[in-house]
Structures are given as C-alpha cells and as structure tokens.
Amino acid sequence: MNPDGKTFLVTGGRSGLGAAAAAALEERGARAVVADLPECDVTDEDAVAALVDGLDKLHGLVNCAGIGFASRVGDFPLDAFRKVIDVNLVGTFVAVKHAATKMAQNEGEEKGVIVNTASNAAFDGQIGQTAYSASKGGVVALTLPLARELARDGIRVCTIAPGPHDTPMLALLREDIRSSLEAQVPFPKRLGSPEDFAGLVVHIVENEYLNGEVIRLDGALRMGPR
C-alpha cells in the first residue's frame, strides 16, 4: 500500500515508537490520527469506536499503546496484572476490531493494513515480566488468526516484536542497566531507535506480500532470565 493520501490510526502515538511511526507515515504523505491518553483510552471500547466512526476513511492501524509492570509472582498485585493485559492485549484487539470494520468499507483489492506491537519479551520473558510477556505473547498469537480472517476483506496483519528501544519507558532505567542491555545486543551494539521501528512499520505498509508475520526487531538479542 502506498501511504500517500491514506489515513492511519496510531494508538499510543504521542511518544516513543508510536510518535515515530506517525511521523514516518506523515513524511510519506499519509494522515496520522493519534489515539492516546487522555482523549482516547484503548481499553474503552466506546471511545475507540467513536474515534474510528468519526473518520471519513481509514486505511491503516498501527497499535503502539502499551504499558509495563514488573514484579515477582508472589508479590504481583492482581489488579496490576489485569491492567497490563487489558491495555496491551485487550486494547490491541479493541482497536483492531473497530479499525478492521472501518477498513473493510474501502474499495480496491487491498483495503487496509494493521501493524501490531508485541515485544521480544513474548519469546524471552525475564523474571518479573509475567504480565508483560503474557500480554505481548497474546499479541503475537493474535497475528495469524487475524490475518487469516481479515484476508477476505483485503486487510493484512503483521506484528513487530521490538527488543529494547530508546524510548521514554527505557529512559527510566539506570545508565548501567542501559549499558548492559546494549552490550548484550550482537549487532549493532546499541538500543533500537524509534526510527528503526518506524522504518519497519512503513516497509510493512508498502510491502503487500507481508502478511500474518511476526518480525523481531532486536539486533539478534536473546534476553537472559534477568
């Protein structure tokens, strides 16, 4: 799909990966509609539905809204576990549900494209990441059944699973932890950048044969248990 002149909804689009993806799409002539707090909570289905219904057209969705919370199992507050699942997994599904319905109304063979965001934690979850890994593993598992179902409507679905990226979330880490993460990346030895992520989003949008795939974006990093 050529993004020029198309409308894309970007959840979590005010910062980090979402902001970079929105900017990259706009650089290619797209209109990026940002869904982010406080105006739009992806766990509020009515709010998401109202936002999508208010658009004249919708050609793409980039799901970047997400949160993290780490704790050992015995001390993990159940409310916190549920919140991570609700935002990262249920919020992704809510946006897909309403965006896909809107995109199916488009004309042409390819009516839309959806890019979801998982994490390498879906595969290499570390100690304390039970909720985060479970939520992102769910996003990974959504990919193929969504791609198969939405194929009838000419809508593609892919998922990006980033490793540690230099975003506001990672800015909270101590410098020694950041340096340790960088040292573990085989090549290139650095954290990912929002621009790395955004470039892959654009490629998925433009490459019509990418469908039903989960792509790791982590410099071949495989995380240890802690």
Kindly list the catalytic residues. 132
Bridge partners of 34, per DSSP, are 10
Please give the span between the terminal C-alpha atoms of the chain, in angstroms, as a whole number: 40
CB-based contact 11:66 (threshold 8 Å): no
Phi-psi domain of 8 (left: phi exceeds 0; alpha: psi -120 through 50; beta: other): beta
Structure tokens at 40: 């739009």
Q: Phi/psi of residue 4, each to 5°?
A: -60, 125
CB-based contact 138:131 (threshold 8 Å): no
Q: Phi/psi of residue 216, each to 5°?
A: -75, 140
**C-alpha 100, offset from chain centre:** 16
Q: How far apart are CA 53 and CA 62, in angstroms?
A: 17
Phi-psi domain of 48 (left: phi exceeds 0; alpha: psi -120 through 50; beta: other): alpha
Q: How far apart are CA 119 and CA 170, in angstroms?
A: 13
Give, in degrees to the nearest 5, the angle at Cα 117 between 54 and 98: 25
